[in-house]
Amino acid sequence: MAEGFAAIWSAVMLFVLSIGGTMIMRKFHNSMAVGFFMGGVVAMTQFFFLLFLIYLAYARDQRMMKTSAKYESLMALFSIVQCILLGSFAAILGAHRSEILDKNREQSPKYSTQGESYEPPAHSS
């Protein structure tokens, strides 16, 4: 029962992370939103690593009771793969976060020079 709940909960959390991450990457490019998203990705990475360890322990218990542990081993494999993928994404996002934040400045209307002429300040001699 607990294993099923963990699998469903992790799927729901990944769904929420993907929806929130899509919104942040498309619309909200401020430092707080990007930092919140990076923190969420790192937290999910740790969550899947913890699930990997839990499923390994379940598999060991199943083997000690002389029953099949193939489902627990498979879930442990899925969890570690997801952990590695999320960790890689967090590292890439962390390395390129300044480009995401700079993208916001380029698209912001107050920095836009389209349709406006620039006049340098008058220099008095």
pLDDT in tens, 70-104: 988 999 999 999 999 999 999 999 898 888 776 66
Question: What was the pLDDT predicted at 77?
Answer: 95
Q: What is the mean pLDDT of the chain?
A: 85
Collapsing DSSP states into helix, strand and coil, what is residue 59? Answer: helix
- The DSSP output letter for 30 is S
In the chain, how many H helices and how many E strands? 4, 0
Question: What was the pLDDT predicted at 7?
Answer: 86
Q: Specify the higher pLDDT residue, 38 or 29.
A: 38
Q: Are residues 48 and 79 in contact, defined by beta-carbon separation less than 8 angstroms?
A: yes
Nearest to 69 by CA among 60, 78, 77: 60
Rounded-to-integer distance, Cα 50 and Cα 21, Å: 22
Q: For residue range 49-73, what is the model confidence (pLDDT) as tens digits?
A: 999 999 999 999 989 998 988 988 9
Report residue 3 as tokens.
Answer: 């294993």
Residue 29, pLDDT above cutoff 90:
no
Rounded-to-integer distance, Cα 49 and Cα 103, Å: 32
pTM, full prediction: 0.75
